[in-house]
Structures are given as C-alpha cells and as structure tokens.
Amino acid sequence: MDSLKRRILKDGLVIDKNILKVDSFLNHQVDLNLMYEIGTYFKNYFKEAKPTKIFTVESSGIAPASMTALQMGLPMVILKKETSKILSDNIYQTVIHSFTKSIDYNLTLSKKYITAKDRILIIDDFLAKGEAASGAIRLIESAGAEVSGIGIVIEKSFQPGRKLLESKGYRVYSLARISSLEQGCIKFCSDKNPSAK
C-alpha cells in the first residue's frame, strides 16, 4: 500500500533495529482517512474469506480493525489485555508476551461474543514475532471458531511472525512489509506480498 509506505517514511521513527514508532498516525494520534483506506484494502482482500466478525487486540489495532469492520458491515470485538472483574468466569483467556514492553499479559475474550460458527478475521497494527496473533488464534479456536485470515498494517519481515503463522496454515496479508530498520533506515521488502493475489 503505497500511501501507507509513504506515511511510514515521512512520520515513522526508528527507535532501534527492532522498534518502529508510528504514534503520530496509527496508535496515539490516529489518521482516520488513512485508517479508512487501510480498511478498504483489508475489505477487498478478505471479502472472499467471508468472515463473520473482526477481532483485534487492544489498543493499537482498534482503528484499522474498526474501519475494516465498518466497511464490511461486521461486528468488531476487542480482545482485552487484562482480566476485567465485570467479565467474571465467562471468558476465554491466554497469556501472551509483549517483546516491546517486555511483559506477559492475559489476553481475554468474553464467551458472549463468539460462537463455534464464527469465521474470524484478525486485524492488528504490527506483526513481529507473532505473539499477539497467536494469542488471538488460541482464544478463537478455544471457542471452536475458525480464523479466516490475519490482516496486518505493518509487518517487520525480519522477525519470525509471518513464518510462524503461515507454517500453521494461516493466511497473512500485510499492507507494508519492512525488511530492515538497521542504522535508523526504514527499508521495505522489494518482493510482492506472498499472500497477495
């Protein structure tokens, strides 16, 4: 997605060789026009997968997931990173590790918002080591539902997330694939997205 790549180059801040900060348009201040365009790309790519719901992990995936859900006319469900006292015992839960924050946290889904008949499209902001997506998959499959696809805004292709997910048979589609953040420079993969048609 060329407009996304241009925005990453313009406003993305390389913190180190593994971390890219995009809080000026994706996960602190949000450019809704860009998010709407992102939603259009995901809608067009995944419409044949016929998802019944859009899932995302709080909080940075909410903006692109909501725009995708809006355009596909589907409900959006936010997987919570902490156990809520309100949710009681009627939940699915799994532990995932955040490499950026170096902490483990509980990923939680209320049983009220998923059935075994659901086909879930996961939308998230970043794909690095695949921890968040893998946690979401565990929750979805605990309910007997199916993962219809995984849409990623920014993929760090030099980390093993895509390989991990695709090796388990999941369909991954990323809008911007970064091959390197070495020496403060953002470099994109020159090859086409292997999941793209």
Residue with tokens 């993305």: 12
Residue 128, annotated as binding a ligand: yes
Decide if 96 contacts 122 (C-beta within 8 A): no
Residue 145, annotated as binding a ligand: no
Alpha helix ranges (H) inside 47-183: 62-72, 131-142, 161-167
Residue 131, annotated as binding a ligand: yes
Residue 27, annotated as binding a ligand: yes
In single-letter form, the type of residue at position 151 comes to G
Residue 141, annotated as binding a ligand: no
Handedness of CA 117, 119, 123, 127 (dihedral sign): positive
Residue 156, annotated as binding a ligand: yes
d(CA 87, CA 184): 43
Residue 106, annotated as binding a ligand: no
Residue 20, annotated as binding a ligand: yes
Closest CA to 35 of 63, 77, 69, 6: 63
What is residue 80's DSSP assignment?
A: B
Give every CB contact of residue 192 below 8 A, 6+ residues apart in sequence: none
* DSSP-based three-state secondary structure for 150: strand
Dihedral-angle region of residue 165 (phi above 0 means left; psi in -120 to 50 means alpha; beta otherwise): alpha
**Which residues are known binding-site members for xanthine?**
20, 27, 156
**Which residues are known binding-site members for 5-phospho-alpha-D-ribose 1-diphosphate?**
128-132
**Which residues are known binding-site members?**
20, 27, 128-132, 156
